[in-house]
Structure 1
Amino acid sequence: MWAALDRRAVQDGAARLAAADPWWLLFGLLFTYLGTVAAACARQGAIPERLPPGLLLASQIAAGAANHVLPASIGAHAVTVRFLLRQGVPLPRATASIGLYSLVRAVAKTPLVLVFVLAAPAAAPPARLLPEGRTLVVAAIGLLLAPAAAVALYVLVRPLRRPALDFVRTALTDARRLHSRPSRFLPLWGGAVAAPLIQAGVVASVGTALGLPLSWPQLLFAFLAASTAAGAVPAPGGIGPLDAALVFTLAGYGAPLPLATATVIGYRVLTVWVPLLPGMLVLSALVQRKQL
């Protein structure tokens, strides 16, 4: 919708991207595939069983392609669960690992933002970009309603009680077991912390290639802020909400709108369109070899 409403800015951004520094764009593509490695590390850290590294990495490349088809990372999680089942992991443990992975990914971003604020206060967003009081109240209400809705669903829908209890029991048991093993909690939390930084590195690389007048800390912080805000809106691969939030954040830092638009277009090209075909080919190969 954003592209349709401001087609001229998108066309100008695409033209600027075509004239960008190709070496920095290649650097951004490297960050894209490093993100797959970080995801594979976090996935391994969320499961007690040892998984074959090559197949695990291939499954995350395939999951990245599926992630752009369904909202809220459903596609990536579905591919991962299927892969874990093929590796002999029981379904309750596979689904519990997805919950732990998602929780750690969400929690890990908070200290990351705090570190940026303390270490590079100049990179913090301008005051006009911070949410208003009403927005914070709505967000707080949403955070309170989510667990309340889960409890109500558990109480009112009797067939869900036993699966829910099994899920919680398995999740808590595995979480305790994993956090007693450095070979699991280190890749789990390390991958969770590295993943958003690597994604932000793609944005920073594209911005540098285009000559965006912002520092790397500002570009990294802009992505972290935009992705956090857009994470509340379920969309395939975050496409749409993240794009609009990132353009708004970059423009709020003082970046010219055409350059901000070109940066977001470049980010999408490197993280969606370039890896899409290899990801679909890997997905097809894994299905044919009955690894999914």
Structure 2
Amino acid sequence: MTSTAELTVPLGRRRAYWPAVVCLAVLLGALYLAHRHWAAVESGAVRLAVADQGWLLVGATAAAGTWAASALAQQGAVLRRLPGARLVAAQFAASAANHLLPAGVGAGAVNLRFLMRCGLPAGRSASALAVKATSGAAVRLALLALLTPACPGLLRLPPVSPVAVAVALGVAVLVAVLPAVPLWPRCRRALTAVLADIRAVHACPARAAALWGGSLAFAALHALVLISVTQAVALPLAPLQVALLYLAASSAAALLPTPGGLGSLDAALALALTASGTSAAAAASAVLGYRLLTMWLPLLPGLLVLGVLVRRKAL
């Protein structure tokens, strides 16, 4: 007779397959697009090789600053004081781990383990990550709302179809009937815990300033990396326009669970830049430069730092 455990293990495995399938599909799609537009990619690489080194140095400095900004936001999400040097190192390691696992799983696992090693219970650690993620999303939405009127006509929303309206209504109906779902009490408890942590953080002005300031700096520094690369390869776009395109592209790419946005962010950035009137070769050089500074160059050092933190039992 088959036991319940024997039935649930394959079911759990099947449920774990879909993120990997989606990730593989996106990566294959990105490879297909790169192969199809290889001439533009090759031309972009050549253009990046002769780019302005000073602007690339500015971009590299901004990329390094994103880890400090992430550490500041993470400190603001908890009331307990965290060890500063190890916190920044953990963010550096988390950024590398994030490029190996889909949908931010790598960064989340590293930060969760770090907070637990610092003495926070598992529930509080998970809530702190949720608080940080919520503030980051809110900051991106606020920046999009502020920059869109400053760059009129740059972002063109697609026409809303009746199918999209029907899907939105369907989602609203599902949300309305969620209390009848057995998982809803558990989700409600988790949401209540996150809201309680948000209130506790905002009761301390210093922690609230760290949370929101770090989240704002993180988004702004990533935009600055792309701005620096576009200046280095002489793209005819104003800095505010590049920042808006980055925020829109990164927000759209977050919907696809690829490791570090690999494939999805690249395609979204290239599409946003070309839709603004940039040539395909120039857009490819900007995307390659942004990825070089934020992903490929820090990847190996980040993995080495991750190994050191694990060995020293900081994770």
TM-based fold match above 0.5? yes
The answer as to whether partners of 2:229 and 2:290 remain within 8 angstroms in 1 is yes
Quote how far apart the aligned CAs of 1:112 are: 1.0
1:263 equivalenced with 2:294 (yes/no): no
Change in 2 beyond 3 A, CA 1:290/1:150: farther
Task: Tell me the equivalent position of 2:208.
Answer: 185
Shift of residue 18, structure 1, vs aligned partner: 0.6
SS in 1 for 2:181: helix
Q: CA deviation at 1:126?
A: 3.2
Alpha carbons of 1:85 and 1:142: their partners in 2 closer, same or farther (altered >3 Å)?
farther
* Root mean square deviation of aligned Cα: 2.4
Could you list the runs of 4 or more consecutive aligned residues of structure 1 that deviate by over 4 angstroms after TM superposition?
none
Q: Deviations over 1:112-136 (max 9, x none)?
A: 1222234xx2x34436x32221399
**1:1-150 alignment runs, 5 A limit:** 1=30, 2-118=33-149, 121=150, 123-126=151-154, 129-134=156-161, 137=164, 141=168, 144=171, 148=175
Q: Which amino acid aligns with 1:126?
A: L
Paired-residue identity, %: 40
Equivalent AA in structure 1 for residue 160 of structure 2? G
Note the C-alpha offset of 1:149: 9.7
Residues in 2 aligned to 1:124 and 1:71: alpha-carbon distance in whole angstroms: 34
**Alignment CA distance shift 1:58-1:147 (3 Å):** farther
Following superposition, the deviation at residue 156 of structure 1 comes to 2.9
Contact 1:38/1:195, CA 8 A, preserved across alignment: yes
Report the secondary structure of 2:65's partner residue.
helix
Sort the Cα spacing of 1:149 and 1:233 in 2 relative to 1 into closer, same or farther, 3 A.
farther
Give the 3 Å change call, closer, same or farther, for CA 249–4 of structure 1 in structure 2: same
Unaligned runs of 5+ in 1: none
Deviation at 1:284, TM superposition (A): 0.7
User: Secondary structure at 1:131's aligned position in 2?
Assistant: coil
Offset of residue 71 of structure 1: 1.5
Are the structure 2 counterparts of residues 26 and 139 from structure 1 closer, same or farther at C-alpha, using a change threshold of 3 Å?
farther
**Cα displacement string for residues 183-217 of structure 1 (whole angstroms, at most 9, x for unaligned residues):** 11111111112212111111110010001111111
Indicate which of 207, 216, 219 corresponds to 2:230. 207
Distance 2:54 2:139 in 1: 31
Q: 2:181 maps to what in 1?
A: 155
Query: Which range moves more in the overlay, 46-55 or 131-140?
Result: 131-140
SS of equivalent residue, structure 1 residue 287: helix
Q: Could you tell me which runs of 5 or more consecutive residues in structure 2 were left unpaired when the two chains were aligned.
A: 1-29
**CA drift at 1:268:** 0.6
8 Å contact kept, 1:124–1:221: no
TM-score normalized with structure 1 length = 0.90
Letter in 1 for 2:264: P
Q: Distance in 2 between matches of 1:143 and 1:223?
A: 30
Question: Structure 1, residues 60-89: CA drift from partner, whole Å, max 9, x if none?
Answer: 000000010111111101000000111110
Give the Cα separation in 1 of the matches to 2:282 and 2:60. Answer: 19
1:22 CA drift (Å): 1.1
> Highest CA radius of gyration, 1 or 2?
2
Within the candidate set 233, 249, 255, 1:226 is matched to 249
For the Cα contact (< 8 Å) 2:71–2:88, is it kept in 1?
A: yes
Change (3 A) 1:69 1:255: same
Aligned partners of 1:231 and 1:13: how far apart in 2?
25
Whichever residue aligns with residue 93 of structure 1, its letter is R
Pick closer, same or farther for the CA change 1:282–1:254 going to 2, 3 Å.
same
1:14–1:262 CA contact under 8 A, matched in 2: yes
**Could you say if the C-alpha distance between residues 221 and 185 of structure 1 is closer, same or farther in structure 2, counting changes exceeding 3 Å?**
same
Q: 1:9-50 CA distances to partner (integer Å, 9 max, x unpaired)?
A: 111111111111111111101111111111111111111111
Q: Distance in 1 between matches of 2:223 and 2:170?
A: 26
Match of 1:280? 303
Q: Kindly tell me: are residues 215 and 135 of structure 1, through their superposed partners in 2, closer, same or farther at Cα, counting changes over 3 Å?
A: farther
Match of 1:245? 268
Q: Which position in structure 1 is the counterpart of 2:240?
A: 217
Q: For the structure 1 residues 222 and 146, does the alpha-carbon distance in structure 2 shift closer, same or farther, using more than 3 Å as the test?
A: farther
